[in-house]
């Protein structure tokens, strides 16, 4: 029997923190003929990487087993002797005389043919492969697979394995002192069974497609996922951590027991945090391709939720206050929200917050709204761009800013004063503000189809610019800019146009 080994494998070393054990290593090497294997073979060495250099040094070997090649078979038996030759014929009787000398013996017959050779023995193969955490090794390790190469392809196929031995990593401590970093797939075992990390957890392992964080209860300095090759990370037991950041990796996140965070930043197609009530600084969720409900969330200063593709729904049924809201390619249902400093909606088609009594600013970009999604009486500043179906209507008499660059129409019949009034790059044909008398800054610029401006009550503006409206008679522009007390400009309009 002959012998081959497929792989000489060493499990990479890991620095495990103050309270962690070094990993187990496995190495295979050719074993020469001798007392361990009469015909030679492979020595399989195991031990602990005490110096954490990633190599199994001779002084670290604690166990050696051998897979030996078979010895040569004994020689076949000799063939049988050939038959004796025939005797010669007797001579004629002569006279009696002295006896003649004896005749010589006949020659021996030829040897018989050798028997056929026996069948060659099969190669025996050894492979060392990574063993993930599971029933064979709770923290993972290496599997040593042995078998005969029955199809003689030089590879140990799954159907050829006759024996498997396991070299398992040491059990992790329940509490890990200091920071813990997972840098590649072979280090993910270091999290198995760990409940408390007295430092920061960093996962920067694009090669890892799974990681077991199911035992984690507390991480003192936060969790950061820089790179991860899997699709799901479920923190089933996690209760306490100040922050969670996975902005560079796209995978689904679930943390059902966490109640409070300082910051939350996830890039995730789906996200759930059913017990989360508040986040001190901000919630940023990007890349969503599914609906998200945060049933316990009450407050965060800044909420930014962005979808990928068609808008999905974000719901926070008991939330009462967000300082600032931003939804991009996401719709929102916030039935209990009463206060927010500002709302920004982009590529959204639905926004429900019927209980709002106060918001300082409202920005709509590239939405499908036909009317304002919040009660305008609670809005001070408007920023309205690229909303092809939107007509803005409000009974307000005074506002801060009205910045319009993409709506169908404006209907502010009672508006008498504003700090800023901008109509820029819009598709409006007419701008009419019958009661507007005082504005600090006016800019009506670059409106390709604008033909009429009607501001009959306008009497005072500090800086007034009506420019680059090719279909607007210049005389209508000057009828507005004449009331500027500071800078004015009425260039770029239709000088040939007439006024009634």
Least confident of 156-170, 191-205, 459-473: 156-170
Contact 223, 241 (CB under 8 A): yes
Residue 32 lies in a domain: yes
Of 107, 139, 168, which residue is a domain's last?
168
Most confident of 59-63, 146-150, 213-217, 356-360: 213-217
Confidence of residue 28 (pLDDT cuts 50, 70, 90): confident
* CA 215 to the chain's CA centroid: 21
Residue 17 lies in a domain: no
Residue 55 lies in a domain: yes
Confidence of residue 91 (pLDDT cuts 50, 70, 90): low
Angle CA(456)–CA(399)–CA(443) in degrees, nearest 5?
Answer: 55
Average pLDDT over residues 249-274: 95
Count of structural domains within the chain: 2
Q: Look at residue 472 in the predicted model and tell me its pLDDT.
A: 97
Residue 160 lies in a domain: yes
Q: Look at residue 6 in the predicted model and tell me its pLDDT.
A: 47
Q: Is-above-0.75 flag for pTM?
A: no
Q: Look at residue 463 in the predicted model and tell me its pLDDT.
A: 97
pLDDT per position as a tens digit, 365-380: 999 899 999 999 889 9
Residue 59 lies in a domain: yes
Q: Look at residue 172 in the predicted model and tell me its pLDDT.
A: 64
Give the position of tokens 């609670």. 378
Above 50 in pLDDT, residue 325?
yes
**Which residues does residue 203 pair with via DSSP β-bridges, in sequence order?**
182, 225
Contact 340, 356 (CB under 8 A): yes
Query: What is the bridge-based pairing of β-strands 141-148 and 161-168?
Result: antiparallel
Above 50 in pLDDT, residue 461?
yes
Above 90 in pLDDT, residue 143?
no
Q: Look at residue 14 in the predicted model and tell me its pLDDT.
A: 35
Contact 454, 432 (CB under 8 A): yes
Neighbouring residues of 56: CB distance < 8 A, sequence distance ≥ 6: 10, 25, 26, 27, 45, 46, 47, 49
Residue 116 lies in a domain: no
Confidence of residue 16 (pLDDT cuts 50, 70, 90): very low
Least confident of 106-120, 242-256, 288-302, 442-456: 106-120
- Percent of the chain residues topping a pLDDT of 90: 58
Above 70 in pLDDT, residue 100?
no
Query: What is the bridge-based pairing of β-strands 180-182 and 260-267?
Result: unpaired
The residue ranking higher by pLDDT, 460 or 104, is 460
Neighbouring residues of 388: CB distance < 8 A, sequence distance ≥ 6: 368, 406, 408
Residue 101 lies in a domain: no
Of 133, 168, 203, which residue is a domain's last?
168
Residue 267 lies in a domain: no
Of 107, 142, 168, which residue is a domain's last?
168
Picking from 478, 426, 471, 424, the residue whose alpha carbon sits closest to that of residue 452 is 471
The domain containing residue 444 runs over which residues?
383-500
Q: Cα–Cα distance between 343 and 153 in angstroms, integer? A: 66
Contact 387, 367 (CB under 8 A): yes
Above 50 in pLDDT, residue 493?
yes
Q: How many CB atoms lie within 10 A of CB 390?
A: 23
Above 70 in pLDDT, residue 481?
yes
């Amino acid at each position: 029997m002959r012998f081959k080994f497929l792989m000489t494998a060493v499990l990479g070393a890991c620095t495990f923190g103050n309270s962690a054990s070094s990993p187990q290593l496995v190495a295979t090497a050719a074993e020469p003929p001798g007392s361990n294997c009469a015909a030679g073979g492979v020595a399989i060495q195991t031990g602990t990487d005490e110096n954490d250099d990633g190599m199994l040094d001779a002084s670290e070997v604690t166990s050696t087993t051998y897979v030996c090649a078979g010895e040569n078979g004994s020689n076949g038996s000799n063939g049988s002797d050939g038959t004796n030759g025939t005797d010669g014929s007797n001579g004629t009787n002569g006279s009696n005389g002295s006896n003649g000398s004896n005749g010589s013996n006949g020659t021996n017959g030829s040897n018989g043919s050798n028997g056929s050779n026996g069948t060659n023995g099969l190669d025996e193969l050894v492979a060392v492969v990574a063993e993930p955490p599971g029933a064979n090794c709770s923290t993972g390790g290496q599997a040593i697979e042995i078998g005969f190469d029955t199809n003689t392809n030089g590879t140990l196929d799954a159907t050829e394995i006759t024996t498997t031995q396991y070299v398992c990593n040491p059990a992790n401590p329940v509490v890990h002192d200091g920071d813990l970093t997972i840098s590649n797939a072979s280090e993910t075992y270091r999290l198995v069974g760990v409940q408390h990390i007295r430092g920061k957890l960093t996962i920067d392992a694009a090669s890892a497609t799974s990681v077991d964080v199911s035992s984690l209860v507390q991480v003192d300095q936060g969790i950061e996922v820089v790179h991860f090759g899997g699709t799901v990370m479920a923190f089933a037991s996690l209760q306490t951590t100040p922050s969670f950041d996975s902005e560079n990796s796209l995978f689904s996140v679930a943390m059902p027991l966490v109640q409070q965070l300082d910051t939350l930043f996830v890039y995730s197609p789906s996200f759930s945090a059913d017990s989360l009530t508040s986040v001190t600084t901000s919630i940023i969720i990007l890349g969503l391709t599914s609906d998200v409900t945060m049933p316990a969330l009450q407050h965060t200063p800044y909420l930014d939720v962005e979808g990928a593709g068609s808008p999905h729904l974000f719901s926070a049924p008991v939330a009462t206050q967000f300082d600032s809201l931003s939804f991009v390619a996401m719709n929102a249902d916030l039935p209990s929200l009463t206060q927010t400093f500002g709302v920004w909606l982009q590529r959204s088609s639905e926004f429900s917050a019927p209980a709002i009594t106060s918001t300082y600013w409202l920005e709509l970009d590239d939405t499908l709204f036909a009317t304002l999604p919040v009660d305008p009486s609670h809005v001070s500043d408007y920023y309205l761009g690229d909303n092809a179906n939107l007509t803005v209507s409000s009974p307000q008499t005074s506002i801060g800013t009205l910045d319009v660059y993409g709506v169908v129409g404006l209907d502010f019949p009672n508006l008498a004063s504003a700090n800023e009034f901008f109509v820029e790059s819009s598709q409006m044909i007419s701008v009419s503000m019958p009661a507007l008398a005082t504005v600090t800054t006016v800019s009506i610029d670059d409106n390709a189809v604008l033909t009429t401006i009607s501001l009959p009550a306008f009497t005072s503006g500090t800086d007034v610019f009506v420019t680059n409206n090719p279909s607007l008679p210049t005389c209508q522009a000057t009828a507005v800019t004449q009331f500027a007390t500071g800078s004015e400009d009425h260039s770029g309009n239709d000088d040939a146009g007439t006024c009634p």
